[in-house]
Amino acid sequence: MKKAVVLLSGGLDSTTCAAMLVRQLGADNVIALSLGYGQKHLVELEQAKLIAKELGISHIIKELPPIFSGAGSTLIDADCPNPETTYEELAKSIGVSPTYVPFRNGNLLSAATALALVEGADTVCYGAHSEDARSWSYPDCSAEFIGAMACAIYIGTYHKVRLYTPLVNDTKYDVVVRGLEAYAPFELTHSCYNGARPACGVCSTCISRIAAFKQLGVRDPIDYAIVIDWRCL
């Protein structure tokens, strides 16, 4: 791995990946790609700009065509509110999440792969982790999907680009640990699916994020709209 394109959403996972790549390759060899796809929480793109600047890496923002609207995803459709759940309910849930955007990661990875070829990068990185794939909540984060996309990317680029998913076996707790070790600027990240400032603290991503920091016994550096006891779970 000499040069990488990392999909940077502005959240914990992608920021951790970007920080890890900077430590491995140097900032000059990392390109961040952020994509608008009709998501309601567009604030994440604003944070991605700040994160890329903090890490000293090149940053490209592009807009995908509106191909996901009408699919019923709570991240896209204005009349579909994001679910609010407890951590226990989140851990026990089975099946596709209502926040799933149909084949989003396939589209994002395709765009990143094309950019990698243009920029002479040999690696595309995204932050899929084990909790995203658990119980098929997000099938485009599963090991099966990652394996298939890795093959497609490698073959479709004349063996020039490989897919790198360093967090694939990690829990959210593990991601936080890795990010702290890589000096990821977590204070600049945004995970809230409601796009709230301060973060709502009750959507599924906020719940998962809060639980990870509490498990580690570390206070999350971002603000929340609810009062949180930051002692260990």
CATH of the domain at 41: 3.40.50.620
Q: How many domains does the chain have?
A: 1
Residue 198 lies in a domain: no
Residue 95 lies in a domain: no
Q: How would you write the pLDDT of the chain (233 residues) with one tens digit per residue?
A: 999 999 999 999 999 999 999 999 999 999 999 999 878 777 889 999 999 999 999 999 999 998 888 878 888 887 788 877 654 565 566 677 888 898 999 999 999 999 999 999 999 999 999 988 887 788 999 999 999 999 999 999 999 999 999 999 999 999 999 999 999 999 999 999 988 899 999 998 999 999 999 999 999 999 999 999 887 65
CA 156/CA 145 separation, integer angstroms: 16
| pLDDT recorded at residue 71 | 76
Residue 85 lies in a domain: no
Tell me how far CA of residue 29 lies from CA of 34, 148, 157, 216, in angstroms. 17, 26, 19, 31
Which of 71, 45, 86 is CA-nearest to residue 204? 86
| H/E run at residue 30 | strand 30-36
CA 223/CA 156 separation, integer angstroms: 43
Domain range spanning residue 166? 4-75+100-190
Residue 36 lies in a domain: yes
Residue 60 lies in a domain: yes
Tell me how far CA of residue 183 lies from CA of 54, 55, 138, 206, in angstroms. 11, 9, 28, 21
Residue 208 lies in a domain: no
Phi-psi region of 217 (alpha: psi -120 to 50; beta: other; left: phi over 0): left
Residue 185 lies in a domain: yes
Residue 220 lies in a domain: no
